[in-house]
Amino acid sequence: MKVFSKQVDLAAALAGAEGKIGFVPTMGALHEGHASLVRRCRAENDQVVVSIFVNPTQFNDPTDLKNYPRTLDADLALLEKVGADWVYTPTVDDIYPEPDTRQFDFGGLDQVMEGACRPGHFNGVGQVVSRLLTIVKPDVAYFGEKDFQQLAIIRYMVRQLQLPVRIEGCPIVREADGLALSSRNRLLTPEHRAAAPLIYQALKEGVAQAGKRPVEEVRHLIEQKIASSPLLEVEYVNIVDNATLREITEWTSAPLRVCVAVRAGAIRLIDNMDISVK
């Protein structure tokens, strides 16, 4: 495994590498969820590239950026174990030699949920992901479905910019008690960590009622179940159409998701679950 901090060096190394290039962009603080992306990338490609970069332009909250966990040594050890070939760990200057002033139009996909709660977040994601894809030039790039809205926005951007890359979404990986893996989980207090699996339980209960009770009732049931813990504060529970990310009012056979954001003390957690209405 080779580690580069400059894009020119990475590009030179990849120019001589043979076969299909798979890419997993990350912000580090890697966990089993990232490991599952890299394993899949390893299984489907000849060259496995992983980037570790805490992208400042996608943080709307400076405290969140400051506190974001940074665990480079452990990250590199994990990547070596799961079989990455190339790791790109750039500085801010290497990615943004000049400030990125681009404003993306994501066709409204960024107007709801995370986009509404975190102004500018997805524009920053668009800036960094388009740059990373241009630097690495992968055949395939892998993203986790935990960030379901991000995945939809990246697919949209790749189509709009006609970037020659296939985007693959990979399923959420959970702790044994159901909490979706996230780099931010390690920042939870023990009390908030103990309360957090209620999010998964609420999603499961809600999804089991899909098609049986009205949409708004199911949405409310999930919200109430999470809010039954005094340690969890619901930001949103949205039942959305996968393609538009708009809330639905009636059950349909189109692919649907329930997406939630919850505050657990100082930490914001997001999660989602697939809904199929029989």
User: Judged by CB under 6 A, which of 125, 167, 181, 232 binds ligand PAF?
Assistant: 125
User: Judged by CB under 6 A, which of 7, 21, 22, 26 binds ligand PAF?
Assistant: 26
Q: Is 182 in the site for ligand PAF (CB under 6 A)?
A: no
Single-letter amino acid code for the residue at 270: I
Nearest to 30 by CA among 254, 201, 181: 181
Q: Which of the following is catalytic: 34, 121, 192, 220?
A: 34
Q: Is 275 in the site for ligand PAF (CB under 6 A)?
A: no
Q: Is 55 in the site for ligand PAF (CB under 6 A)?
A: yes
Strand partners of residue 48: 22
Q: Is 25 in the site for ligand PAF (CB under 6 A)?
A: yes
Q: Which is nearer to ligand PAF, 25 or 206 (CB)?
A: 25
Q: Is 34 a catalytic residue?
A: yes
Scanning 22-30, 98-106, 160-168, 258-266 for contacts with ligand PAF by CB under 6 A, the matching segment is 22-30
Contact 259, 270 (CB under 8 A): yes
Q: Is 128 in the site for ligand PAF (CB under 6 A)?
A: yes
Q: Which is nearer to ligand PAF, 112 or 202 (CB)?
A: 112
Write the CA distances from 232 to 114, 120, 194, integer angstroms. 17, 25, 11
Angle made by CA atoms 130, 41, 22, in degrees to the nearest 5:
40
Write the CA distances from 102 to 93, 124, 155, integer angstroms. 17, 9, 18
Contact 226, 232 (CB under 8 A): yes
| Interface size with ligand PAF, residues (CB under 6 A) | 10
Write the CA distances from 28 to 111, 189, 211, 269, integer angstroms. 27, 21, 39, 17
Q: Is 129 in the site for ligand PAF (CB under 6 A)?
A: yes
Which residues of the shown chain bind ligand PAF in the complex (CB under 6 A)?
A: 25-27, 55, 58, 125, 128-129, 147, 150
| Residues marked as catalytic | 34
